[in-house]
Amino acid sequence: MTVVDAAAKPASGASGLPVGLFAPYVSADNNFTSQICAVGVQFTQRLASRLLVEGLDWQPSGVMSRKYGEAERWHADAGWIKPAALVKACLAQANVTWRGHCDVKRLSRDGDSWMLIDKDEHILARADMVVIATANQSAELLNTMSAAPKLIFQAVRGQVTYGNLSAPATAETSTYPINGSGSYIATDAEWLVGATYDRNNLSLDASIRDQVDNFERLENLAPEIAAQLKPAFERGLVNNWVGIRCATTDRLPIVGEVLQGLWLCTAMASRGLTFAPLCAELLAAQCENDKSEELPLTPRLVKALSIQRYMKK
């Protein structure tokens, strides 16, 4: 399998997030997102435990949910992951080749195969089966083909603020993540708080306003930790990271075959760490003569994730 990527190094998109949460999602009506997350966390943990170093790249630590007006709730099927470590570990598997600096501008059918073509009309790669997983750029790639469904994604900018656990000393910070209106994570060496949501500004430059927002988020979520980290914010001993999420209007990913041999697996929104390993397994099952019924997903959930919801009836 060859992975072609416009970027110079792996995990340069939203997956460059320093550390993120995988967690169940509780809703009053146990909606599709909740049901898919409940399965997703299992697949994420299975993949992480196979490929990553526990305690360093990920931790099935559980997560404390603190939502305004609700009692605290403990989720055992949850934890943190460094997404770039997961991406690199996936790419390091046997029979996977990664090629950077391959900015695909359009796809074209040639006999039984697909050609991936750059802006100068050079053929970057040719394959019988192609999976588009280019987040917001997936819509542009599909839109170059008249037979493909027209997709519109919401690009949502987010900024997280993070720092070193020892600068200044923050010995008493929580050892498990806290999730509510925003989230706080402490890993082996760092803490992180976030994230902002912004649809009107898609700049990748960090903003001080968002850093202040993240501190206020932490004050609401965990005032005791905010008090400890206040000196780090005041002395500028913090870093910021900005990324752009890719979301559908229903906030569910899209998985499925768009045209013969051309597949889509994208729009992970704010839950790529909970959704992506499950979506990858679903795609693999579907292209193997549709073995998706072997996955712990009901047909309704498979349909909720399907590209079919964007196809003309």
Ligand X SMILES: Cc1cc2nc3c(=O)[nH]c(=O)nc-3n(C[C@H](O)[C@H](O)[C@H](O)COP(=O)(O)OP(=O)(O)OC[C@H]3O[C@@H](n4cnc5c(N)ncnc54)[C@H](O)[C@@H]3O)c2cc1C
Contacts to ligand X by CB under 6 A: 4-7, 12-15, 17, 20-22, 83, 102-104, 133-135, 137, 158-160, 194-195, 243, 245, 266, 268-274
**Min CB(142)–ligand X separation in Å:** 11
* 98 within 8 A of 84, measured Cβ to Cβ: no
85 phi, psi to nearest 5 deg: -65, -40
**Min CB(169)–ligand X separation in Å:** 26
**Min CB(118)–ligand X separation in Å:** 8
* Cβ-based nearer residue to ligand X, 21 or 229: 21
Cα separations in angstroms, 303 against 155, 179, 300, 309: 23, 29, 5, 8
* Cβ-based nearer residue to ligand X, 54 or 294: 54
- Distance, first Cα to last Cα, the chain: 33
Give CA angle at 285 (279, 286), nearest 5°: 90
* Cβ-based nearer residue to ligand X, 24 or 243: 243
What dihedral do alpha carbons 188, 189, 195, 196 form, nearest 10°? -170
* 165 within 8 A of 43, measured Cβ to Cβ: no
* Cβ-based nearer residue to ligand X, 180 or 194: 194
* Cβ-based nearer residue to ligand X, 16 or 168: 16
93-117 per-residue burial string, b: 16 or more CB within 10 A, e: under 16: eeeeebeeebebbebeeeeeebbbb
**Min CB(57)–ligand X separation in Å:** 15
**Min CB(280)–ligand X separation in Å:** 10
* Cβ-based nearer residue to ligand X, 279 or 299: 279
Mapped onto helix, strand or coil, the DSSP state of residue 163 is: strand
**Min CB(194)–ligand X separation in Å:** 5
